[in-house]
Amino acid sequence: MIALLTGLLSTAVLAGGVLSLAAIGEVLAERVGVTDLGVEGLMSLGAATAIVTVMAVPDPWAGLLAALAVGALGGAVFAFAAVVMRANQVLCGLAITFLGLGLSATIGHSVAGMPAPVTFAPVRIPVLGSLPVIGPAFFAQNLLVVPVYLLLPAFFHWLLFHTRHGLNMRAVGENPAAADAAGIPVVAMRFCYVVVGAALAGAAGAYLSLAVIPSWSEGMVSGRGWIAVALVIFAGYRPFNAAAAGLLFGLITAIGFLGQARGWPIAAPVLNMLPYLGTLAFIILPVVLWKRMRRVMAAPAALGVPYYRSVR
Partner 1 sequence: MTRFQRFPTAPARLVLAWRAAALVAAALIIGLLLALSGRNVFELAVLVLKSTIGSRFGLEDLALFMTPLILTGSAVTVTSRIGLWNIGGEGQFYLGAIGAAGVGLYMPGSPIVVLPVMAVTAMLCGVAWIAVPTLARAYAGVNEIITTLLLNFVAGLLTYWLATGPWRDRVTGALASTGRIHVAIPEFWGVVHWGFPIALLVAGGLAAIMTWTSWGYEVRISGANPGAARYAGMPTRARIIAVMLLSGALAALAGMFEVAGTVHRLQGGMADNFGYLGIVVAVLARRSCLAVIPAALLMALILDAAIVLQTRQLAATVVLAITGLVLLLIAIGDELAHYRPVTPAVRLPPSAPVATPKVTT
Binding footprint of partner 1 on the chain (CB under 8 A): 37, 41, 77, 81, 85-88, 90-92, 94-103, 105-106, 109, 218, 222-223, 226-227, 229-230, 233, 267, 269-270, 272-273, 276-277, 279-280, 283-284, 287-288, 294, 308, 310-311
Cα–Cα distance, 35 to 93 (Å, whole number): 8
Q: Which of residues 24 and 39 has its CB atom nearest to partner 1 in the complex? A: 39
Decide: 15 and 212 in contact? Cβ < 8 Å: yes
Cα–Cα distance, 303 to 176 (Å, whole number): 10
Least Å distance, CB 197 to partner 1, is 17
Least Å distance, CB 265 to partner 1, is 12
Residue 297 φ/ψ, nearest 5 degrees = -105, 25
Q: Which of residues 81 and 203 has its CB atom nearest to partner 1 in the complex? A: 81
115 DSSP β-pair partners: 215
Q: Which of residues 46 and 136 has its CB atom nearest to partner 1 in the complex? A: 46
**Nearest to residue 186, comparing CAs of 21, 45, 308?**
308
Residues listed for the chain: 312
Least Å distance, CB 297 to partner 1, is 12
Least Å distance, CB 7 to partner 1, is 25
Least Å distance, CB 268 to partner 1, is 8
Q: Which of residues 92 and 140 has its CB atom nearest to partner 1 in the complex? A: 92
Residue 101 φ/ψ, nearest 5 degrees = -65, -40
Task: List CB contacts of 288: < 8 A, sequence separation 6 or more.
Answer: none
Q: Which of residues 39 and 140 has its CB atom nearest to partner 1 in the complex? A: 39
Least Å distance, CB 263 to partner 1, is 16
Q: Which of residues 42 and 140 has its CB atom nearest to partner 1 in the complex? A: 42
Three-state DSSP state, 242: helix
Decide: 82 and 93 in contact? Cβ < 8 Å: yes
Maximum CA pair distance of the chain? 63
